[in-house]
Structure 1
Amino acid sequence: MTKRRVRQQAIIARVQAAGAYAVRDLAQELQVSEETIRRELKVLEASGAISKGHGAVSLPLGAVEGPFELRLRENAEAKQRIARAVAGLVPDGGIVHIDSGTTSYYVAKALRQHRSLTVITNSVAVSAELGGRNDNRVFLSGGELDYQYKAFFDHRSCDYLAQFTPTLAVLSVGAISRDQGLMDFHSGEAAANRIVYGKARTVILAADASKFDRYGLIRTAHLTDVDVLVTDQPLTPEYAEAFTHARIVVA
């Protein structure tokens, strides 16, 4: 990775952690001139990663994920279309991991008529949708509940999830970039999903168009870790090339 790329990622990480940052403070912390910082900010603003004001920089509107219910309403129609397409890829009797993202919650709702599923999840919302119906078995990880995400992410949860080897994994993502891969905004969510990428036989990534060319806080996986990408709009030529290894489904 180039020095500029490292510096830009350091800027993004600081702004995401604090919400806003003075240009002067960024220059001091990264030990470069304010002119250098302004050049990097110009690139990041053009990519949509940050928003630049007078003497300071902040996250663009909507760049930080909010509580679960709020995120459910973001691009809800697109997420529901994606969910129906994903559900069509899951057979009755399948062994499937479903993560804690809001798109994955809609996938769980779309799977309510499926039968005899074995579901592994760290999401309370997913377990509530699929548990106790149609002879499903649900394995819900425990630990300390994150009330903002309605899910478990701590080390107990990750240790529990690491035991399973699902045939399918349905995973969501906070951001997708051609150079940085798949990223999330929550360190626990990234850690939990990172485990599943290494365990599942087939990974289905459910991601609406708003996630592309977006930067997250923590890298979760490489683009090549995805076997099936389900999205709501045709990919740009650049992303079509980046995902040539995967099956692409446009809902």
Structure 2
Amino acid sequence: MLTRERQEVIRARLDLSGRVVAADLAREFAVSEDTIRRDLRELAAEGICERVYGGALVRVPARPFSERMSENQPLKSVFGAEIASLLPDGGLVFIDAGTTNLSVAEAIGSGRDMTVMTNAPAIAAMLTVSSDVEVMLTGGRVDRKIGGAIDTRAVTSLDGIYPDVFVLGTCGIVPGEGLFASRADEQTFKAEVARRSRRIITAADTAKFETAAPYRITAFSPEVTLLVENGNSNDMSAIAEAGARIVPVAAGRANT
């Protein structure tokens, strides 16, 4: 089989399942894994996929915040309630922009004693109406696709801020590598909050393991707690080996 023919088959597999594993392709085509990795590099250069540890994922553009708000609300509510229960009273929490994180803000409710900083106006508004917590907003221009501020002014707002917990909105999960963002400017902001935070909590539905996001926010570590759908069939061993806490919740689908 010619190189281009093999790459067309790989492209079709990506369209069908959203992901390919280099070792499996090497056995199927009776070629070396180096040959498959070269194929994947060329397909990635064409924008077809994103190379990840052990293979590649189909590249899916980030969808606007407004389109994601009403999707899969039951699981988002479960994620939100679980994360809210993990937040420390008396502490400083940073809640990142994201539709699942909006459910976290809603779940905090009244009677909690903490300070919450956010880059998302919708989250700040929710907390102001439904909770007793002290609310702080970053500066910066609100990006409508993300639903929050991620620009230079937003980063500057973090000066002197060291959260006890960062509730992170992530775009993609690579078990052997970490938590990823779909845009470079988004990664810059999220990585800075992560660097300043003592703990990181994030929720990921099964789709997050099948979404190519090229910019790593942070690696998995003992400081990371990852909420996943119960029954998620992805291999979590590399995440567990890195020391991250994995918390399964009721099955379903959500989009952060």
Deviates more, 1:151-160 or 1:162-171: 162-171
The answer to whether residue 244 in structure 2 is matched with residue 246 in structure 1 is: yes
Question: What residue in structure 1 maps to residue 155 of structure 2?
Answer: 158
Gaps of 5+ in 2: 21-45, 50-56, 250-256
SS of residue in 1 equivalent to 2:88:
coil
Aligned residues, how many? 215
The 1:73/1:225 distance shift into structure 2, 3 A limit, reads farther
Question: What residue in structure 1 maps to residue 224 of structure 2?
Answer: 227
Q: For 1:134 and 1:86, how far apart are their aligned partners in 2? A: 15
State the AA in 2 paired with 1:91: P
Q: For 1:113 and 1:242, how far apart are their aligned partners in 2? A: 34
The 1:193/1:113 distance shift into structure 2, 3 A limit, reads same
Q: For 1:237 and 1:133, how far apart are their aligned partners in 2? A: 36
Deviates more, 1:130-139 or 1:92-101: 130-139
Question: What residue in structure 2 maps to residue 126 of structure 1?
Answer: 123
Give 1:65 deviation, angstroms. Answer: 2.7
Using the size of structure 1 for normalisation, the TM-score is: 0.73
Question: What residue in structure 2 maps to residue 90 of structure 1?
Answer: 87
The 1:241/1:148 distance shift into structure 2, 3 A limit, reads closer
Give 1:139 deviation, angstroms. Answer: 1.7
Question: What residue in structure 2 maps to residue 38 of structure 1?
Answer: 8
Q: Residues 97 and 119 of structure 2 are in contact (CA less than 8 Å); yes or no, is this contact kept in structure 1?
A: yes
SS of residue in 1 equivalent to 2:69:
helix
Q: For 1:162 and 1:191, how far apart are their aligned partners in 2? A: 14
The answer to whether residue 74 in structure 2 is matched with residue 104 in structure 1 is: no
> Where does structure 1 differ by over 4 angstroms across 4 or more consecutive aligned residues?
42-47, 56-62, 132-135
Q: Residues 121 and 141 of structure 1 are in contact (CA less than 8 Å); yes or no, is this contact kept in structure 2?
A: yes
Aligned counterparts, 1:9-20, within 5 A: none
The 1:42/1:181 distance shift into structure 2, 3 A limit, reads farther
Aligned counterparts, 1:183-198, within 5 A: 183-198=180-195
Q: Residues 65 and 71 of structure 1 are in contact (CA less than 8 Å); yes or no, is this contact kept in structure 2?
A: no
The 1:97/1:136 distance shift into structure 2, 3 A limit, reads same
Q: For 1:43 and 1:242, how far apart are their aligned partners in 2? A: 26
Give 1:69 deviation, angstroms. Answer: 2.2
Q: Residues 106 and 130 of structure 2 are in contact (CA less than 8 Å); yes or no, is this contact kept in structure 1?
A: no
- Per-residue Cα deviation, 1:129-172 (whole angstroms, up to 9, x for no partner): 11366542222111222123231111110121243101111112
Give 1:41 deviation, angstroms. Answer: 3.0
- Per-residue Cα deviation, 1:196-250 (whole angstroms, up to 9, x for no partner): 2111111111222221132113222222375211122244472144234122222
Deviates more, 1:177-186 or 1:86-95: 177-186
- Per-residue Cα deviation, 1:169-200 (whole angstroms, up to 9, x for no partner): 11121111224432222333222110121111
Gaps of 5+ in 1: 1-32, 51-55
Q: For 1:38 and 1:226, how far apart are their aligned partners in 2? A: 41
- Per-residue Cα deviation, 1:27-79 (whole angstroms, up to 9, x for no partner): xxxxxx645743653564466159xxxxx986899933322121123332211
Question: What residue in structure 2 maps to residue 174 of structure 1?
Answer: 171
Q: Residues 155 and 192 of structure 2 are in contact (CA less than 8 Å); yes or no, is this contact kept in structure 1?
A: yes
Q: For 2:233 and 2:58, how far apart are their aligned partners in 1? A: 24
Identical aligned residues as a percent: 29
SS of residue in 2 equivalent to 1:243:
helix
SS of residue in 1 equivalent to 2:112:
coil
Q: Residues 165 and 198 of structure 2 are in contact (CA less than 8 Å); yes or no, is this contact kept in structure 1?
A: yes
Q: For 1:133 and 1:80, how far apart are their aligned partners in 2? A: 15
Q: Residues 59 and 213 of structure 2 are in contact (CA less than 8 Å); yes or no, is this contact kept in structure 1?
A: no
Question: What residue in structure 1 maps to residue 208 of structure 2?
Answer: 211
